[in-house]
Structure 1
Amino acid sequence: MCVHFSLVFPGAATHVPQLTRELAARRVAVFRGPHSFDLSNAQALLHLGAMRCDRIDYVVADASPTLESIAMAGAFFAESGADAILAIGGGAVIDTAKGVRRIAACPHLSAADALRMRGVSSHRLPACIAVPTTAGTGSEVTPFATFYVDGIKHSVDHPDVVPDRAVVDARLTGSLDAHQSACTGIDAICHGIESMWSRAATPKSLAYASDALTLCGRYLGDAIRVGNTDARAAVMHAAHLAGRAIAITRTTAAHALSYALTARFGIPHGHAVGLFMGPVLAEHARAVHRGDGIAQYQEAILTRLALPNAHSPRQRWEAQLHEWGLPATLEEASIPRAAYAQLVAAVNLERLANHPVRLDLQHLLEAL
């Protein structure tokens, strides 16, 4: 599954007006964040004034989209008369726009039924261009759109939501601070890791994931510490490759465990995944002793990331989180121990089933 094509290079954003013409857009609904649009200088970098069509904007305010927030955005799109979507922002903005695209293709269904895949699309999909302003989610190339219902993560997983065009331009990430760069970069790394050891891995997904991890291992530190333009471009490319990888394989245990941590405690998604990656690596030590075949993948992953030398894979991972300026454990992130069991109990079973080895959730809980 992939978009029709992607533009991935500094300066790619200037091609957006041309892409709207190629997609025959007459009226474009621009989905954007409340802050990222201005901070990224998207108006100027995307040459939006050069679009030869009408434009109407919708501000996506929720950092974690809900069924209700996407339904509201879908109603706005239906009433706007727009025939195309331009999503400019991070994962929440792009996921919202992708959800709207699914709703627009199913006017005979309620928004809830459309997002929960309780029917087939009956109308032509509106054209969709995705322009990320963070380097992490890879949402511009995946068939997923995440939303929450009562704090529980759900996901659309359907070809309808894959954007027609992805425009990946590192210049749009120039306003990200070190913390944001670290959190989004870790999301890209965890996508690469989980895709690489996924039960659904293929030669193509392994190539995408391997390249993504190599780029992140080499450049993420510089992208975080000094905001180097070349480093940011490399990490942006890595996130895009990792997105292509999980579009094939889906994610696994660390992502499956992370969603409740974000929903309940507001930990940024990438950091939440990273906080569970350490315990997952520790649990893999048991799998290695059982001869479950995970060792070759784990060592290949750690080598590509060039993680700091330490006694165990978990220690190497947590040392790297510290180097990137982030708490490495739930305790360091000030998560109350009384909540640990509830976080593990809220694991997303669909993503957990994709993990390469059987995980003992009780052992995992003890490792937190």
Structure 2
Amino acid sequence: MSALADRDIRFGDNTIAMAPNVVRQLGATRVLVVCGKNSFTASGAEAIVPELENVAQVRRWNDFRANTDAADLIVGLRIVEEFQPDAILAVGGGSAMDMAKLLCGYRGVTDKKLLEDAIRAGGTVSRTNTALILAPTTSGSGAEATHFGVVYIGADKYSIGGPTILPDVVLLDPSLTLSGSDYQRATSGVDALAQAIEALWAVDATDESHAFALQALPLLAGSLEAYVKSPSAKAARDMALGSYLAGRAIDIAKTTAAHALSYGITKTYGLSHGHAVAVTLGSFIEQHAEASASRLQDAVDPMAHRQAMDEVLAALGAANAAEAKESWAELLQRIGLDASLTNAGARRTEDRHKLANSVNLDRLGNNPVKFTLDELAELLIDLP
């Protein structure tokens, strides 16, 4: 499994049981466990606690919101200052893993204003003397594979990055991902699939990100429906590995327009992140597949874009752009995701314009096809 060879990835069912030994190997004696409110118990991960307490002093923290917020982050940073962990173990979805990364990156900052100023200023974060272990309980965010974390200040989203907030060890345990609801599996899984697709067409894509995305795409597209409707150990393994590979791809290529729009949809209408990405992605697939060379960003090679779109269409079993959009809509229906922006709450034309105007322009610049804000609004207006 060469894709896992360059990092310390422990992959397989019940890999979470390795956590106490990993802590011992890292020489840690004080461990802060950052976990989901329900998933830590429901997934079975809580079973590691007695053995973990045999090798280290353990404190558990789960009192934070689903979308990582600076108000929660400052609480966590003060806990870190008080407890002084030498390792942070995150067991949960993307929010828990992002929170753990940010606790490492901003360790030592305990003043709310200083923290918010640092987040707004951006720049690369670093950490010292804090081991980071990530164990995802969902297959979708890819946070265990990326060098950045997401944090909100109010309604404003910031992506904070730095190579030093990559985990020291990842415990990639497919069995942890089976306890979530059908909706959780659908929305996280479709996010991973979207990441693999966007990584293929992104302006910043490289040969390396293409390789990761092309490994991820058949695993995710081939297993997502089964993983949602009747999850088996094989489907869970394919989705866990596919999600990690998509994360590796997006870590290099970065996300594009569907993700850029998703944050406004989530914040305004409450759709979970993956669901919000999925609502618009079918239309972007269609428009990208039909785009003439004149609509492409200057840095995009038309031949490379055509090849990327051929790969996306093939993964969806589609012969052309219209079929691909229809195939995407049918997939969402089969896994129980409502693709209607109207049903989500964006009922008026002005609602769609507001969403377009909320877009992250950096991510929009990474989209291979040029869109003005008015063109984005028209795309949104055309959605059901």
Q: Please give the TM-score of this superposition, normalised by the length of structure 1.
A: 0.92
**Measured at CA, do residues 364 and 111 of structure 1 come closer, stay the same or move farther in structure 2, by a change above 3 Å?**
closer
Within a 5 Å distance, the mapping from 1:111-122 to structure 2 comes to: 111-116=115-120
Structure 2 counterpart of 1:92, from 83, 92, 95 = 95
Which stretch has the larger CA shift, 312-321 or 234-243?
312-321
- Give the counterpart letter for 1:336 in structure 2: R
- Give the counterpart letter for 1:78 in structure 2: E
2:219 is the counterpart of 1:209: no
C-alpha deviation, 1:112, in angstroms: 2.5
2:305 is the counterpart of 1:301: no
Structure 2 counterpart of 1:364, from 373, 376, 379 = 376
What secondary structure does 1:110 align onto?
helix
C-alpha deviation, 1:154, in angstroms: 0.8
Which stretch has the larger CA shift, 254-263 or 108-117?
108-117
Q: Structure 1 CA distance, aligned partners of 2:166 and 2:292? A: 37
Partner of 1:138: 142
Partner of 1:354: 366
Percent identical: 33
2:230 is the counterpart of 1:218: no
**Measured at CA, do residues 305 and 21 of structure 1 come closer, stay the same or move farther in structure 2, by a change above 3 Å?**
farther
Unaligned runs of at least 5 residues, structure 1: none
Superposed CA deviations along residues 70-89 of structure 1, whole A, max 9, x for unmatched, are 11111111111211100010
Q: Structure 1 CA distance, aligned partners of 2:98 and 2:274? A: 15
Q: Structure 1 CA distance, aligned partners of 2:126 and 2:180? A: 40
**Measured at CA, do residues 339 and 60 of structure 1 come closer, stay the same or move farther in structure 2, by a change above 3 Å?**
same
Q: Structure 1 CA distance, aligned partners of 2:28 and 2:60? A: 15
**Measured at CA, do residues 308 and 78 of structure 1 come closer, stay the same or move farther in structure 2, by a change above 3 Å?**
farther
2:51 is the counterpart of 1:21: no
Partner of 2:10: 7
Partner of 1:261: 265
Q: Structure 2 CA distance, aligned partners of 1:6 and 1:48? A: 21
Superposed CA deviations along residues 118-166 of structure 1, whole A, max 9, x for unmatched, are 6776862410100100000010121111011121211102113211111
Q: Structure 2 CA distance, aligned partners of 1:283 and 1:310? A: 7
Q: Structure 1 CA distance, aligned partners of 2:32 and 2:337? A: 36
Structure 1 counterpart of 2:203, from 199, 205, 216 = 199
**Measured at CA, do residues 118 and 351 of structure 1 come closer, stay the same or move farther in structure 2, by a change above 3 Å?**
closer
Structure 2 counterpart of 1:31, from 31, 34, 50 = 34
Q: Structure 2 CA distance, aligned partners of 1:159 and 1:171? A: 28
Superposed CA deviations along residues 18-46 of structure 1, whole A, max 9, x for unmatched, are 11111111100000111111111111267
Structure 1 counterpart of 2:347, from 326, 336, 341 = 336
**Measured at CA, do residues 343 and 26 of structure 1 come closer, stay the same or move farther in structure 2, by a change above 3 Å?**
same
- Give the counterpart letter for 2:105 in structure 1: R
**Measured at CA, do residues 27 and 336 of structure 1 come closer, stay the same or move farther in structure 2, by a change above 3 Å?**
same
Superposed CA deviations along residues 292-323 of structure 1, whole A, max 9, x for unmatched, are 42332122112124469984332221121112
C-alpha deviation, 1:184, in angstroms: 0.3
What secondary structure does 2:28 align onto?
coil
**Measured at CA, do residues 336 and 62 of structure 1 come closer, stay the same or move farther in structure 2, by a change above 3 Å?**
same
Superposed CA deviations along residues 66-125 of structure 1, whole A, max 9, x for unmatched, are 111111111111111211100010011111111110111668993234444567768624
**Measured at CA, do residues 150 and 291 of structure 1 come closer, stay the same or move farther in structure 2, by a change above 3 Å?**
closer
What secondary structure does 2:132 align onto?
strand
Q: Structure 2 CA distance, aligned partners of 1:355 and 1:133? A: 30
Aligned CA-pair RMSD: 2.4
Within a 5 Å distance, the mapping from 1:233-244 to structure 2 comes to: 233-244=237-248
Partner of 1:182: 186
Structure 2 counterpart of 1:325, from 326, 333, 336 = 336
Q: Please give the TM-score of this superposition, normalised by the length of structure 2.
A: 0.88
Q: Structure 1 CA distance, aligned partners of 2:360 and 2:308? A: 23
Q: Structure 2 CA distance, aligned partners of 1:211 and 1:343? A: 33
Structure 1 counterpart of 2:151, from 139, 143, 147 = 147
**Measured at CA, do residues 14 and 307 of structure 1 come closer, stay the same or move farther in structure 2, by a change above 3 Å?**
farther
C-alpha deviation, 1:214, in angstroms: 0.6
- Give the counterpart letter for 2:347 in structure 1: P
Q: Structure 1 CA distance, aligned partners of 2:55 and 2:370? A: 54
Partner of 2:299: none
**Measured at CA, do residues 48 and 184 of structure 1 come closer, stay the same or move farther in structure 2, by a change above 3 Å?**
farther
8 Å Cα contact 1:70/1:99 also seen in 2:
yes
Q: Structure 2 CA distance, aligned partners of 1:123 and 1:362? A: 41
8 Å Cα contact 2:126/2:165 also seen in 1:
no
Q: Structure 2 CA distance, aligned partners of 1:265 and 1:257? A: 12
2:72 is the counterpart of 1:69: yes
What secondary structure does 2:106 align onto?
helix
**Measured at CA, do residues 194 and 206 of structure 1 come closer, stay the same or move farther in structure 2, by a change above 3 Å?**
same
Which stretch has the larger CA shift, 192-201 or 292-301?
292-301
**Measured at CA, do residues 143 and 113 of structure 1 come closer, stay the same or move farther in structure 2, by a change above 3 Å?**
farther
